[in-house]
Amino acid sequence: MEKISENIIGKLIEINLDRRDNYQAASTYVDAKDKKKFLIELANESEGFVMELTYFLKLYGGSTQSLFAQHSEHHQKDYEFSRSDQAVFLILHQQEIKRIEHYNHLLIEAIDLDNTLFDKIRSQKTALIESEEKLAEVMND
């Protein structure tokens, strides 16, 4: 597998592992059941993205072993959220915007990738945009 492709997929896996963990942690701070359910759905979405990306990485001969080991080593950070649901969603919204920016940057780097992989990355970015819009709606409720 071309090193650039492996690096791009690796970065996307890291983004989604952090996203998954972040939403799982945030769900413990939110009181409303519907909001908690929404955050868990976003965490599960990220887990699905990781599985999709892992498939591509393995398909092209790359390995996820070091990625997952690195993530579990560095994932000792505690997510600190305010007790206010609105404040939690404000933080999550800002983080989602940063993830979309990362996806945009990586899509520019990925312009020469296999079409199927490129389309998968673009599809995931679209899902992040939809999540960002929903987070904004929930935050403003």
Q: pLDDT tens digits for 81-90?
A: 667 888 889 9
What is the structure's pLDDT at 59? 82
- Would the pLDDT of 3 be above 50? yes
- C-alpha 130/C-alpha 127 separation (Å) is 5
Please tell me the predicted confidence (pLDDT) of residue 112.
Answer: 81
Q: Which CATH number fits domain 3-140: 1.20.1260.10, 3.30.470.10, 3.50.50.100, 1.10.1200.10?
A: 1.20.1260.10
Amino acid 70: pLDDT: 63
Tell me the pLDDT tens digit for each residue of 42-80. Answer: 999 999 999 999 998 888 777 666 665 565 555 545 566
Which residue in this structure is represented by tokens 């409720």?
Answer: 141
- What does pLDDT average to over the chain? 86
Q: Which amino acid belongs to residue 64?
A: T
Q: Is the dihedral of CA 59, 62, 64, 65 positive or negative?
A: positive
State yes or no: pLDDT of 15 exceeds 60: yes
Task: Report in angstroms the alpha-carbon separations of 49 from 17, 63, 88, 98.
Answer: 9, 16, 23, 17
Name residue 53's amino acid: L
Which one is predicted more confidently, 106 or 66? 106
